[in-house]
Amino acid sequence: MPILKVKVSDTKSPDTTRAISAMLLELTTRILGKKPELTAIVVEYVDPADWVVGGRTLLEQGKRSFHFDIKIVDESNTRQQKAQYIREAFDGFAGLLGELHEESYIHIDDVRASAYGFGGKTQEARFHLP
């Protein structure tokens, strides 16, 4: 059920997209307990010359970065699970992209079950209505 929107500072590559998707799917399933068949991942690429941190491009700094948002139903995961997810995702991106800029972000967006859904139904309706 979660959707992940990923931006990565790199040249577009099907191999990189597959590697990022596989890594995030594994973490999202193992740590957050989400069903892989209901997990959607969108990967977008930004040229390192167009990603600026501290007034200098990542190209100039010789680093890579990423940012991703994941939407999950509020109260479906603990603080500890979310902290582990953020830590392991950062490490996973470092393994895939090389030297990461510390200013690489992960945002876990806890959304109300009544305001989030797929297939025309809210999560609240899936879990509470016959």
Domains of the chain: 3-128 (3.30.429.10)
Tokens 């200098």 appear where?
56
Type of residue at 113 = A
pLDDT > 70 in the chain, percent: 98
What's the angle, vertex CA 43, arms to CA 39 and CA 109, rounded to 5?
55
Checking if the pLDDT of 3 tops 80, the result is yes
CB–CB of 33/77 below 8 Å? yes
Going through the chain in order, the beta strands assigned E by DSSP cover 3-9, 40-46, 52-53, 56-57, 66-73, 105-111, 117-118, 121-122
Checking if the pLDDT of 118 tops 80, the result is yes
* Distance, CA of 60 to CA of 42 (rounded, Å): 27
Query: pTM for the full model?
Result: 0.90
